[in-house]
Amino acid sequence: MNELVEALATADGTTCLVGAGGKKTTLYELADRLDRAILTATVRIPIFDRKVAAVRVTSDPIAALKDADDNQFPLGLVPERERDDRYRGYEPAIVDGLASAHDGPVLVKADGARTRLLKAPNDREPQIPPEADTVVPVASVGAVGKSLSSEVVHRPERVAAITDAEIGDEITPKLVGRVLADERGGLKGIPADARPIPLINAVDDATDETVAREIAAVVHDRADVPLVVLARMIEGEIVDVLE
């Protein structure tokens, strides 16, 4: 098993991605590297047919799974196409049932961020299946140095409330770390038995790595997480794993 999978995924269980700044890219990389992976969602997800071997649009994902041939994995399962650019997601309990019926990994987009680099969830987010094994809260190094605004951050008012910041403030490594480590932020709604693995994405050069390590230090100081992963997901690469 390669380093990316070892760091982030549960090879025979459910791995959920939340946060902002790399969820979909990470899901697609994991789906490509895991054996017999299912890719699904509990929230809206952009059309991803080119990222997997096959997609089935069905209200009965367990039946679709049982009918799938080996050459159809990684397999995308979604309940409904919405407009021309996205699918809807299943209810979390349905994903739990799907995972129970599958002898391999289930990868879940469990949060939305509208392509922003950082976010804090609202009252209805994230939509994590209760039996999830691993939850990966994501944030991008690219948010640091930018303004705490809706152009960069999804739900900036919630990020401000978590971090005692003001709209328009400069985003610092400490601010990003506090969001990832907060139970109103990156750790919101994670089941008690699930493994939280924060992922700091877009670590593209030495300067980014310095910033990412500052973020990770804040996360480890404020939250009980086994690992913080630094990654360059555009290349599918792990930069470092910080225990």
Cβ contacts of residue 154 below 8 Å, gap of 6+? 20, 112, 113, 114, 116, 118, 119, 120
Q: Which domains does the chain have, with CATH numbers?
A: 3-242 (3.40.50)
Q: Tell me the β-bridge partners of 81.
A: 87
DSSP 121-167: --TT-----TT-SEEEEEEEGGGTTSBSSTTTEESHHHHHHHHT--T
Q: Percentages helix, strand, coil for the chain, rounded to the nearest 5? A: 30, 25, 45
1-10, 19-28, 77-86, 138-147, range with the lowest pLDDT: 1-10
Place of tokens 């760091």: 7
Sign of the torsion formed by the C-alpha atoms of 49, 32, 107 and 74 = positive
Position 84 scores a pLDDT of 85
How buried is 30 (Cβ within 10 angstroms: 0-12 exposed, 13-18 middle, 19+ buried)? buried
Q: CB of 41 within 8 A of CB of 63?
A: no
Confidence of residue 28 (pLDDT cuts 50, 70, 90): very high
Q: Is 169 a residue whose pLDDT tops 80?
A: yes
In this predicted model, what pLDDT tens digit does every residue of 92-148 receive, in sequence order?
999 999 999 999 999 999 999 999 999 999 999 999 999 999 999 999 999 999 999
Position 2 scores a pLDDT of 82
Confidence of residue 90 (pLDDT cuts 50, 70, 90): very high
Give the number of other CB atoms < 10 A from CB of residue 56: 16
At 208, the amino acid letter reads: D
% of the chain at pLDDT higher than 90: 95
Position 109 scores a pLDDT of 98
Mean pLDDT, rounded, of the chain:
97
* Predicted model pTM: 0.97
CA distance 214 to 208: 10
Place of tokens 């930018």: 146
Which helix (H) or strand (E) is 232 found in, with range? strand 228-232
Q: Is 1 a residue whose pLDDT tops 70?
A: no
In this predicted model, what pLDDT tens digit does every residue of 41-83 receive, in sequence order?
999 999 999 999 999 999 999 999 999 999 999 999 999 999 8
